[in-house]
Structure 1
Amino acid sequence: MKIIVVKNRTSFLIEQLLKVWESSVKATHLFLSSDEMNNVKQYVPQALNGVPVLIVAENEHGNPVGFMGVAERILEMLFVSNESRGHGIGKQLLQYGIEDYSINELAVNEQNPAAKGFYEHMGFEVYKRTELDEQGNPYPLLYMKRNW
């Protein structure tokens, strides 16, 4: 696996990352209906183009299998394709982000307990909870900071 900081966000790359996002969300965001997921999906390309730092994990064939976005020491997004989950890709991405971009904060959906557990395992602790997500939808968010 290779980790790349993306300099040129081509439409082809954004399409590839959208597929990774969709695969990940279908496997982990079971609280979303397909209509809700399709609604969110239309905003993903804008988020991928707008996040200050976009980092991609590629497999041995050069295909994206995971990605994360970072803004001012905050992890804005981290997704690993369902087929690639459980192989340490998320851990490698997050460690890279902590080491190279000083990530110390993130938000995670409360209804995604596997992600919460992953971030706790990586040294983050919940410090705040909101009833609504950042778009005002009824998906509680847990805000987490690194505890070391």
Structure 2
Amino acid sequence: MAMGTTSDGTMNMNMNMQSGMSFEWGTNAIILYSGWPGHSPGKYIVALVLVFCMAVIVEVLSSITSIKEGTGVPPMTAALSHACVYGFRVAVSYLVMLSLMSFNVGVFIVAVIGHGVGFFYVKAKALTIKQDEDMNNNV
């Protein structure tokens, strides 16, 4: 009998999954990698703050517009800077998604709130800029 097989020839898959495929409450979650945040409520709160901040960052980076013409920035430099920002945004987006795969309700809630806060910040800033431009055009 080969190693890893049972007497009936099937694979011996010892699956010790600590989390199921349904949402769970509580501070005992595995977020991003095994052992973190562990069983500590303090580390769990730090993890929630981190997920919140990552969600806000995703929304803020999503709003970055192209560099306007006439700023003296060469097109290749502008394209490279936008590609770097895009790559960073995608990486942070994937980290938020992987955090959500912990199926922890707290992580889900702070991710949604983080995206909402980030979206609100971006839209509020855009409205403020538009109002300032309108006031300058009317003067």
| TM-score of the alignment, normalized to the shorter chain, above 0.5 | no
Q: Looking at CA atoms only, which structure, 1 or 2, has the larger radius of gyration?
A: 2
Which structure: greater helix fraction? 2
Greater relative contact order (Cα < 8 A, sep 6+): 2
- TM-score, reference length from structure 2: 0.25
Higher normalized strand content (fraction of residues) = 1
